[in-house]
Homo-oligomer: A and B are copies of this chain.
Amino acid sequence: MSFRVWAPAPRDVAVRVRGEDHPLADAGWGVREGVVADAAAGDDYWFVLDGTPWPDPATRWQPEGMRGPSRVLDTDAFAWTDAGWSPPALGDMVIYELHVGTFSSEGTFDGVIGHLDQLAELGVNAIELLPVADGPGMRGWGYDGVYPGAAHRAYGGPAGLARLVDAAHRAGIAVLLDVVYNHVGASGNQAYQAFGPYFTDRYSTIWGEAINYDDRGADGVREWVLQNAQGWIRDFHLDGLRLDAIHAIHDTSAGHIVQELTQRVHAVSEHAVVIAGSGLNDPKVMQPVADNGLGCDGAWADDFHHALRVLLTGERQGYYADFGDVWQLAKAFRTPHVHDGTWSDVRGRGFGAPSDMLAPTAFVVFSQNHDQVGNRAIGDRLPEECRRLAAFAVLLSPFVPMLFQGEEYGEAGPFQFFTDHIDADIARATREGRRREFAGFAEFAAEDVPDPQDPQTFQRSKLTRREQPGMRDYYRGVLALRRSFGHTPVEDVAFDEAQRWLVVRRAGADLAMNFAREERTVPAGHGTVVLAPLSGEVVW
């Protein structure tokens, strides 16, 4: 079989298979390639750069982890049964974000499979996996991943992922994958630098060295990312990607890497969706490439979350400080960018741009997600008394709703920040960074903040699956109601800032939301149905 790698940095490159080094020839443009006659799927291999062995930057399989050998994966050998599958359009999706390690007791891809039918029955038709890239240790959220193409061995590796995707499609559920193209887990820097200029010092990110998208040698790096994205769709039958934090992807090229990526992904499958995690509040992210947009199908709408959350809980710390008024959620029901050129106290400047040209289905909304739960000091979920109203607002909005694992039945356990760094200095920095982050919060002593490296922090974050009575039925009911609304737009929004209520008229119904902590009377449209999540049930 043939081996091929982009490695402009070293003088000599060989591939080591079955203990033997086979020199690779220079194919130009930094590409080295060669044929090893007796190599086969399942063989371990290393690329040997000037005598030192390294894993393949484009590895699909790291059976012994990020510092072990790569293994040849034959993606054609997956036993797919999803030939007739076609995913729902993004606008018809109900997404469920889950973390493979904590979603099931097994903590594996196979462990997810047994829960799929229950999700489908609830009304979920897409799951979105937190990043599964192989990285340091055996547990973590996935954002420190080092090899973006290698499904983590702790979850069951690439074959496990393929089994999950196949089973999901059988259950009528699409699978989206969170992918991180803004940095590489710091534990992997050296391994990449050995091959070529993967990083640039033109920019920096808070998580690690910036990936080189527009400096010398960027073409090979871009291709590595683009082929990674294509590979998930083509070889693992994934239905879409969620791009982590594209605001941290710095690229001054005339064709931004995200723009190239959406084109490549859509070329593999016109049904595949690309959803951006974007802190830019910039409609260009979702505008078509023909209009000089980045061409993402949708983006997470953090502002909608913040507007909703702060009304529900009254919290004002950190980036919640910009929110707390009913008009903001009223605006968010029209256009989820609350900051659309307007002043942001938190940023100390005007922020964002109007997004009126976008369909509501270009926005993914949620009341909980891994960030908004897990990046709290103790990873606690929305307080019980808020949950029904939160779900009501999210699920009956005209936007694409996303649930966070466990919210559908009122999970009581936390989702905390956990890591398994194998480099002592990174482990220490992560632990201390976490403590420092919450040092300013009066309600937490330093010792209250869970140690991310402690295996118990991971264990505590596993779903307990103890159900809050009535909650699953409530979600099922509201999701059924959502389906009956179809793609009807928001017709009108009324609110009373002082009385703290909001009424959204949609599909001939008045959706009444009361953020006061006492009873309110709201005006009902003539001949409309008033829906409200008043007494633990949807009233209609």
Contact = CB atoms under 8 A, between A and B. Distances in A.
Interface of A: 214-219, 247, 252-255, 280-284, 287, 291-293, 341, 343, 347-353
Nearest to A29: B343
Contacts of A215: 348-349
Contacts of A280: 252, 254
B218 A349 contact: yes
30 contacts: A214-B349, A215-B348, A215-B349, A216-B347, A216-B348, A216-B349, A217-B348, A217-B349, A218-B348, A218-B349, A218-B350, A219-B343, A219-B350, A247-B252, A252-B280, A253-B351, A254-B280, A254-B281, A254-B282, A254-B283, A254-B284, A254-B341, A254-B351, A254-B352, A255-B353, A284-B292, A287-B292, A291-B291, A291-B292, A292-B293
Contacts of A252: 247, 280
Given A218-B349, A287-B292, A341 B282 contact: no
Given A217-B348, A255-B341, 14 more contacts: A215-B348, A218-B349, A218-B350, A219-B343, A219-B350, A254-B280, A254-B281, A254-B283, A254-B341, A254-B352, A254-B353, A255-B353, A287-B292, A291-B291
Contacts of A217: 348-349
Contacts of A216: 347-349
Nearest to A255: B353
A281 B291 CA distance: 18
Nearest to A290: B291
A448 to B, nearest CB: 30
A219 B343 CA distance: 9
A326 B254 CA distance: 25
Nearest to A281: B254
Contacts of A247: 252
A245 to B, nearest CB: 12
Which 10 A-B pairs have CB atoms at the shortest separation, nearest pair first? A216-B348, A254-B353, A254-B282, A292-B292, A218-B349, A219-B349, A219-B350, A254-B352, A255-B353, A217-B348
Nearest to A287: B292
Contacts of A292: 284, 287, 291-293
Contacts of A219: 343, 349-350
A23 to B, nearest CB: 25
A275 to B, nearest CB: 18
Contacts of A287: 292
A282 B254 CA distance: 5
Nearest to A8: B348
Contacts of A291: 291-292
Contacts of A353: 254-255
A141 B347 CA distance: 37
Nearest to A283: B254
Among the interface residues A217, A253, A280, A350, which one has the most CB atoms of the partner chain B within 10 A? A253
A486 B49 CA distance: 60
Contacts of A349: 214-219
A293 B293 CA distance: 10
Contacts of A255: 341, 353
A216 B216 CA distance: 30
A26 to B, nearest CB: 17
Among the interface residues A216, A253, A254, A350, which one has the most CB atoms of the partner chain B within 10 A? A254
A29 B190 CA distance: 46
Contacts of A282: 253-254
A166 to B, nearest CB: 37
Contacts of A218: 348-350
A255 B351 CA distance: 9
A213 to B, nearest CB: 9
Nearest to A212: B349
A376 B292 CA distance: 37
